[in-house]
Amino acid sequence: MRLKTKYYPKEPRKRRRVRGYELVLETGGSLYLPGVDYTSEAALECASILNEIERCSRVGDALAPRWEEALTARPDFKRRLVAKGLIDVAEGETLGELYRRYVDAKKRTLKDSTRRTDDCILKAFLAEVGAETRANEFDRRDAFEYVERLKSRLAEATWTKRLGVLKKLFNWGVENELVEENPFRKIRGGSQVNRDRIFYVDWNASARILDACPSQEQRTLFVFMRYAGARAESETRELRWRDVDFERRRLTIRSPKTERYKGGDKRLYPLFPELEREFRALKSEREEAIGAPVDGDDFVFRRGLTAANMRKPFLKTLERAGIEPWPRLFQNLRASCDKDVSNRVPPHVAGELLGHSPTVAARHYLKANEADFSRLLTDGAFGEPDVDRDPDVLDAEFDVLDVA
């Protein structure tokens, strides 16, 4: 078998041509690989696979596992071999093949964190049910039994999240005509809201954590998450010095998570005194180290920050501060910021400042605590407003939140 590079007319009435590859078979005939789908390296790999298939056919050997894996990794080429009658396979994609094709299709559209989460969930699914199981043979009963096993060992929010990812996988397979139906379609998930895991990090605890931070960068990172509600991974690593406006007391927070929504790529946030103090200190430290002003295009925090590699240092900081770790370490910092801001401005303003809807905040971030009860019992809820309070002082307190 040999590989030939040929040019074929793209359309009868046009002179433009596209490159393709032709695998000339030992038994006669050829197998065409379109250049738009195959690079020259991919075509050569396919030629090597086909050489091994023809050799095994001559001597009566089974295809070695490494060649089976190489063939499985190229489902389009495999379908072409089946159509030519060169190999015999069971009908339909395996779950492993469906997973690989889904990952390849989504790697450019899903965010890194989402892709990592989906990948872990799907690999766990394949490890339990078998990657070689035919996707069309995995029926509703199998799906129901798998979800029941998840329910027996996982929290409601966790197994519901896994169910959602599996539904996405099979819905994509149905849309691309790789499977006949989604076996998880009629299985209803539970609630992904676990209010027992909502925790408010009060100002006293925040001050102790700030004092326990080992470096100015970690102090600034902490206040950015606690007092600006920055998302721990995506928003912290996108912040540049040009986004910190000391003159207008504004932060421009860029949000990869919400950039697909109109106007959701960035938001303005007040540079509160708690934030300004730490950002100024970090800037002075950087300028002293390099002996020149920081470049506006420079990132504020070191590159490579992820929620995973931020977790261990933060746990050590909590240990030094003598504070017991709370559930959802970084999400609850954002939730605490949302609660503070929501107590001062209307929900729609807090949502705009923090980059989420009031509905999301009510479900995932806001929860009554002891401080709320104490304030209501002390100040009352139904009496007349405090007429002795200076309105100029009240206006000054709200002025810092004015982002117009």
Give me 106's structure tokens: 């989504």
Question: How many whole angstroms separate alpha carbon 378 and alpha carbon 253?
Answer: 37
What is d(CA 324, CA 62) in angstroms, rounded to the nearest whole number? 59
Task: Specify whether 113 is located in the same domain as 173.
Answer: yes
Residue range 94-118, pLDDT digits in tens: 899 899 999 888 877 777 778 888 9
Residue 238 lies in a domain: yes
Predicted pLDDT of residue 398? 42
The answer to whether residues 241 and 341 belong to one domain is yes
pLDDT tens, 258-308?
Answer: 777 777 788 889 999 999 999 999 999 999 999 999 999 999 998 777 777
Kindly state the tokens that stand for 284: 């002075």
> Do 162 and 246 lie in a common domain?
no
Same domain, 6 and 100: no
308 falls within a domain: yes
- Is there a single domain that holds both residue 7 and residue 150? no
In a domain, 297, yes or no: yes
List pLDDT tens digits, range 366-400.
555 566 556 555 665 455 545 454 545 444 444 44
Model pLDDT, residue 182: 93
| Chain position carrying tokens 């596209």 | 18
Burial class (CB in 10 A: 0-12, 13-18, 19+), 282: buried
**Torsion, CA 379, CA 384, CA 387, CA 392, rounded to 10:** 70
Q: Tally Cβ neighbours within 10 Å of residue 168.
A: 18
User: Could you tell me if 74 and 99 lie in one domain?
Assistant: no
Mean local confidence (pLDDT), 34-38: 78
Residue 402: pLDDT band with limits 50, 70, 90 = very low
Distance CA 397, CA 11 (A): 69
Query: Lowest-pLDDT range, 9-23, 69-83, 145-159, 336-350?
Result: 9-23
Confidence (pLDDT) at 394: 43
* CATH of residue 153: 1.10.150.130
Same domain, 166 and 232: no
Q: What pLDDT score was predicted for residue 171?
A: 94
- Averaging pLDDT over each range in 51-60, 212-221, 326-335, which range is the top one? 212-221
User: What domain range includes position 271?
Assistant: 207-368
pLDDT of 216: 95
Domain boundary among 25, 52, 83: 83
Is a pLDDT exceeding 70 seen at residue 1?
no
Please give the angle made by the CA atoms of 308, 313 and 318, to the nearest 5 degrees. Answer: 115
Q: How many domains does the chain have?
A: 3
